[in-house]
Amino acid sequence: MWSAPQPLSYQTGITHSSLHTPKMTSPSNLTHVAPQEQRFLVLFDFDETIISESSDDAVVRALPGQKLPDWLKQSYREGHYNEHMQKVLAYMAEQGVSKDSIHSAVEKIPPTPGLLNLLQYLQNHQQDFELVVVSDANMYFIETWLERAGVRHLFHKVFTNPASFDATGRLVLLPFHSHSCSRCPDNMCKQVILRDYLVSRQKERGGMPFQRVFYIGDGANDICPSLALGPRDTAFPRRDFPMHRLLLGMQQFKANVVPWASGEDIVDCLKKIVKER
């Protein structure tokens, strides 16, 4: 179990965790960086990319028996995971799992190896990188974890499924949007999100596009947004995870592909690109 660092303070930086989290001191020019000056966009998946496992699996361990009954597991329909997770959260509420228990379970999830070092590097180069999360998890899990790790302020935007606690103490999950993409689950197409974001940000940046886009992920649903990347962009699939295995079998993929096992692998690649200028 990791010991999360204290939230980042612009004055003091974060303390070290038991996983030797780097001390993320804030660069002196952090508050003076104009968003339109950032040359690169970095998109992160969340489950098994920023964090070391699925947040849904971690939260299920808050149940009295630490697992779901077979009838609930067997109710899952392919392509309808969001709907399934709605049932899981309703079941957890029926079993008396409290908001505090869910909150604690999320906070205890360790980061993926080297991930906090990657975020340290990106923070130190905020003049170059804009960061976004695109995840099929949910807003409550992601915001809770990022806040606890002291890194929420690094992300310009979080795209994920809405989730909040209702008056009865149940965490209510909703789909992110509807779409017509046949490759993606019914509640989210990450390519639609990516394309819309690039268009809106270019307008906000006075017509200036990002020079390069980097997509960091692990799962099969990270393939679709990666197909929107161009020859100057880079897809970072987590090594030996579904995204990596699927990319290995693709012939007509435009972007560069850099597999990673640790966030340090991504740092090494980004350092070279930053130097190119």
Task: Determine if residue 56 is labeled as part of a ligand binding site.
Answer: yes
Task: Please say if 45 is a catalytic residue.
Answer: yes
Alpha carbons within 13 A on the beta-carbon side of 30: 16
Neighbour tally for 113: CB within 10 Å: 15
Task: Determine if residue 218 is labeled as part of a ligand binding site.
Answer: yes
CB 100 within 8 A of CB 248: no
Task: Determine if residue 166 is labeled as part of a ligand binding site.
Answer: no
Among candidate residues 45, 222, 233, 265, the one labeled active-site is 45
Task: Please say if 47 is a catalytic residue.
Answer: yes
Q: Where are the alpha helices (DSSP H) in the chain?
A: 55-60, 70-73, 81-94, 99-107, 115-124, 139-149, 190-204, 223-226, 242-248, 263-276
Q: Which residue has the tokens 């161009």?
A: 230
Among candidate residues 47, 128, 222, 265, the one labeled active-site is 47
Rounded to whole angstroms, the Cα distance separating 223 from 2 reads 30
Task: Determine if residue 222 is labeled as part of a ligand binding site.
Answer: no
Structure tokens belonging to residue 87: 């049932």
Task: Determine if residue 45 is labeled as part of a ligand binding site.
Answer: yes
Rounded to whole angstroms, the Cα distance separating 8 from 26 reads 8
Q: Which residue has the tokens 């990450």?
A: 190
Helix (H, G, I), strand (E, B) or coil at 214: strand
For the annotated catalytic residues, the residue numbers are 45, 47
The annotation places the binding site at 45, 47, 56, 136, 218
The annotation places the binding site for substrate at 56, 136
The annotation places the binding site for Mg(2+) at 45, 47, 218
